[in-house]
Structure 1
Amino acid sequence: MIARIDYLEDTESAAAPPIIDLAALNSKDAAAHQNLVDQIRKACLAKGFFQVTNHGIAQELQDAVFQQSKEFFNLTESTKSKYSQANHPNKLGYEPLRSQNFEKRTAGDLKEGFFIGRDLPLDHPYRQQNRIHCGENVVPTELASPSTFAEVTKTYHKQMTALAESILSIIAETLGLPSTYFAPFTHEAGAVLRLLHYPPQPVNSDPNERGIGAHTDFGSITILMQDDVGGLQVFDAATNSWIDVQPTPGALVVNLGNVMMRWSNDRYISNLHRVINKSGKERYSVPFFYSGKPDFEIGCLPGCEDEDGTCKYEPVTVQGWIAARHANTFKEAKGAEEISQLVKASAAVAA
């Protein structure tokens, strides 16, 4: 039996998320590897956010993804709307402006997006079962080179999947578990890439206007590539304030999602974050959401039980959890209700 870890340790709550070098990820230097584990553990406890360098994703590939994203969002609205994810059986394709509404204070979040999932053959069970974000990807034919769009995004999705699984292996170690512990969870996992475009917000716009409202991510971990415009902020429960996550050249932002927070019995934080783009510039970002195997049941990780051996949450499948969260923010606009609950949960963890 794995012993329960003492999670009560000092954290720099008011500091910005740390920048962590992943060079020691596969190092044979035990001390260097343990230092990496310790840094990530501290970040998961403090805010559930950190940036990573030496992650292995070539700058040329990152640039190519941004280029394809900009080409798509430069298409006319009528053209983009032809590829609406609302009409796709696996919810892949275009997300129009203000489709989501997390805080429910305006007409919706000031962003548009494009969903890209695992490109699966017709006979794959996930396509047969209409699994969310798993299926035949949408490739707009109006682009200068549709084949380039398909190849670049497929390559990036594949490499981000591998990176996410490597980071999960380290997160397992931070919890005193074997590095291979999450292998059943990552087998035939669901993951979605999301190209995002944020129009600039006027400086004198509605004070409630958001590029994306305060929210937590639905899955296990998110890996974000952002441009140099900025606007991403993470919530600090201890000081009740928002902290800027400054773009760092070559770095990717990593944050934990709801699945990991539930699975760790709230030991680790799925933190609130938002985007406010008052730079006067277009902002582009590319989050990669790693959900995990759709049928995998999330219960409570060994060593994360409460002192009396109980867990806060009932078991739930990954698919069930993700589908419910999408319904709340895309259809029912109940994001604000979840936010109030999650603020309380985050504050309790910080305390």
Structure 2
Amino acid sequence: MATVSGSDRLRDLHAFDDTKAGVKGLVDAGVTAVPYFFRHKPDPLPVTAPSEAAAAIPVIDLANADVDRRRVVAEVRAAAETVGFFQLVNHSVAGELMDEMLAAVRRFNEQPLEAKVPYYTRDVGSKVRFNSNFDLFRSPAANWRDTLVMEMAPEAPSPEQIPPTTPRRLGERLFELLSEALGLPTAYLGHDAGCMDGMSLAAHYYPPCPEPEETMGTSRHSDPSFLIVLLQDTSGGLQALLEGPRRWVDVPPVAGALVVNVGYFLHLVSNDRLRSVEHRVVATAGGGGPARVSVACFFRFEYTSTRSYSPIVADGIGGARAAVYRSMTAGEFLARYNGKGLDGRSPLDHFRLPAAAESPISSATSLTHFPSLRRRKPRQPSPSSTSPKVEVDRDHVASQVRAVVETVGFFQVVKHGVIDELMDEMLVAVWHFNEEPQEAKVPYYTRDVASMVRFNSNFNLFLSTAANWCDTLVTEMSHEAPSPEQITLVCRGVALKYTVMVRRLRERFFKLLSEALGLPTGYMGRDAKCMDRLSVVAHYYPACP
């Protein structure tokens, strides 16, 4: 093939785009050869036999989560940590709806051109946009496909623009399972980490190609989102790049299944624990067969968000590992991803910390600390533990309390009446406050001990022989508590609810302690005034280099 200058190539790309007909327009025009700007270099990696493919991509039955949740969590963790792909059956999305969705995409693409032109745009601000190759003017070679994108969250298009039929509840269930797989609170990824703040629906249409070996339906890539749920027809063609040895493996269509894969952002947030695996779609062969159709639901960040995303370095059970990536915003990542197009290179490499492999824990400036908590399944102390547990709702525990306060001085309490979800919410709120931009925290920074809400580092900074690696937010919650407006916004609601429940708990403690000392039940709480004041002290311990 003759060499084409850059200016000629750009001219030809514009000419193709100006038709607004996409790849379907080329097929309708009767092309017998793939235009040069669709031609890809051959991929030297082998493709495995179909017999291996069936075993390589796990199939997970979501119905089992209602019977043996621990088993399903383990299956999801194993698939996300190794293959990065799995197929989901019994997922509650009706088969009729899946068929209807695929048929609707096919009908849209096979309409007359004049019906599709009003939707043809490259304006990423448009909630509904139809075009061919989002990266047409940046990628080394175009892909043999057309795409209809619908932005379904945070604000979906009006029904007049396009009907919103998306598996959002399924996404919630998947993020709950993945949160538990990482040892995090069930709602963390879906709610606190913002993995469901945005949602896009991308309907791909792959027309039959006269030279399928010369081009690709979709180049090798991974996706700029947290998680992808894919509905594919029976055509096949999706392949994942697996290791040991590196080879392409088919992700075969399974009746009634949805394909799930990890995106770049979940790879980053999980600190390399979950794998965002490269994948591709081979071009559909010609010969009079139907076009391949698929619908991908991308659970993503909100495009306008200024939030900083960081790796979670806690493993959920008290351990930690070095941060592999630096923090980034959605804007930073998208600029990198969109700027390079689908060229087979990972945009995560740009954000990788050079010393990550050498540092035992992340640097303080990475802001990647996450509170290690599993309140719903608390770790049992080891037999050698010197911190006894006391169940305060059992009868006759005064002697048990007396024994531990006279000897150890510490004890752990279970069945205390403070609900698990509230404890999780309180810890996450403290983490969110400390992870906020500095300008949001500065108004609370003070060393005035008369202030009812004060944030600082080391209350004894100028008196101690050495400072501690800790930041602290103190809220005085006594009879004259601060007004709700004084309490930090991210902690406000949960702090007030948590304090109410802790006040009830302290009354029970002081009654038990009074009895343990042989005093009247109400002595310590009322007469000795042990309950006159209450301070809520929230400590934040960033990972230390």
Q: Is TM more than 0.5 here?
A: yes
Q: Deviations over 1:29-58 (max 9, x none)?
A: 4xx111101111110111110000011101
TM-score of the aligned structures, taking structure 2 as reference length: 0.49
C-alpha distance in 2, partners of 1:213/1:24? Answer: 35
| Offset at residue 322 of structure 1 (A) | 3.5
C-alpha distance in 1, partners of 2:149/2:107? Answer: 15
- Residue 249 of structure 2 corresponds to residue 231 of structure 1: no
C-alpha distance in 1, partners of 2:294/2:335? Answer: 23
Query: For residue 16 of structure 1, what is the amino acid of its counterpart?
Result: A
| Offset at residue 314 of structure 1 (A) | 1.3
Check the 8 A contact 1:14/1:236 in 2, yes or no.
Answer: no
Query: For residue 312 of structure 2, what is the amino acid of its counterpart?
Result: L
Question: What SS class does the counterpart of residue 262 from structure 1 fall into?
Answer: helix
Check the 8 A contact 2:229/2:261 in 1, yes or no.
Answer: yes
Counterpart in 1 of 2:157?
A: 136
TM-score of the aligned structures, taking structure 1 as reference length: 0.74
Query: For residue 264 of structure 1, what is the amino acid of its counterpart?
Result: S
Query: For residue 290 of structure 1, what is the amino acid of its counterpart?
Result: F
Question: Any residues of structure 2 matched to 1:1-351 within 5 Å, and which?
Answer: 15-25=55-65, 27=66, 29=67, 32-87=68-123, 89-90=125-126, 92-96=128-132, 98-100=133-135, 104-106=139-141, 108-118=142-152, 136=157, 150-151=162-163, 154=164, 156-157=165-166, 160-182=167-189, 183-186=191-194, 189-202=197-210, 204-205=211-212, 207-280=213-286, 281=289, 282-294=291-303, 295=305, 296-303=307-314, 309-329=321-341, 335-338=343-346
Closer, same or farther in 2 for the Cα pair 1:304/1:100, shift >3 Å?
farther
Q: Deviations over 1:307-345 (max 9, x none)?
A: 98431211122354245423432xxxx624438969x9x
Counterpart in 1 of 2:518?
A: none
| Offset at residue 16 of structure 1 (A) | 2.0
Question: What SS class does the counterpart of residue 144 from structure 2 fall into?
Answer: coil
Check the 8 A contact 1:50/1:254 in 2, yes or no.
Answer: yes
Query: For residue 197 of structure 2, what is the amino acid of its counterpart?
Result: A
| Offset at residue 298 of structure 1 (A) | 1.5
Structure with bigger gyration radius: 2
Check the 8 A contact 2:310/2:327 in 1, yes or no.
Answer: yes
C-alpha distance in 1, partners of 2:225/2:266? Answer: 7
Check the 8 A contact 1:259/1:318 in 2, yes or no.
Answer: no
Counterpart in 1 of 2:479?
A: none
| Offset at residue 191 of structure 1 (A) | 0.6
C-alpha distance in 1, partners of 2:76/2:174? Answer: 9
Query: For residue 234 of structure 2, what is the amino acid of its counterpart?
Result: D
| Offset at residue 251 of structure 1 (A) | 0.2
Question: What SS class does the counterpart of residue 186 from structure 2 fall into?
Answer: coil
C-alpha distance in 1, partners of 2:331/2:121? Answer: 18
| Offset at residue 265 of structure 1 (A) | 1.4
Query: For residue 313 of structure 1, what is the amino acid of its counterpart?
Result: Y
C-alpha distance in 1, partners of 2:170/2:74? Answer: 19
Query: Unaligned stretches of 5+ in structure 2?
Result: 1-51, 358-545
C-alpha distance in 2, partners of 1:311/1:257? Answer: 18
C-alpha distance in 2, partners of 1:101/1:249? Answer: 33
Q: Deviations over 1:3-45 (max 9, x none)?
A: xxxxxxxxx99942100000133x2x4xx11110111111011
Q: Deviations over 1:41-93 (max 9, x none)?
A: 11011111000001110111112211211111012335423212314624531
Check the 8 A contact 1:103/1:336 in 2, yes or no.
Answer: no
Check the 8 A contact 1:14/1:239 in 2, yes or no.
Answer: no
Q: Deviations over 1:200-253 (max 9, x none)?
A: 223x44x44100000001100000000000000000122111000000010000
Counterpart in 1 of 2:457?
A: none
Closer, same or farther in 2 for the Cα pair 1:319/1:288, shift >3 Å?
farther
Closer, same or farther in 2 for the Cα pair 1:321/1:110, shift >3 Å?
same
Counterpart in 2 of 1:124?
A: none
Check the 8 A contact 1:234/1:242 in 2, yes or no.
Answer: yes
Closer, same or farther in 2 for the Cα pair 1:78/1:87, shift >3 Å?
farther
Closer, same or farther in 2 for the Cα pair 1:185/1:239, shift >3 Å?
same
Question: What SS class does the counterpart of residue 280 from structure 2 fall into?
Answer: strand
| Offset at residue 181 of structure 1 (A) | 1.5
C-alpha distance in 1, partners of 2:256/2:170? Answer: 15
Question: What SS class does the counterpart of residue 170 from structure 2 fall into?
Answer: helix
Query: For residue 301 of structure 2, what is the amino acid of its counterpart?
Result: G
- State, as a whole percentage, how many aligned pairs show the same letter: 27
Question: What SS class does the counterpart of residue 255 from structure 1 fall into?
Answer: strand
Query: For residue 196 of structure 1, what is the amino acid of its counterpart?
Result: H
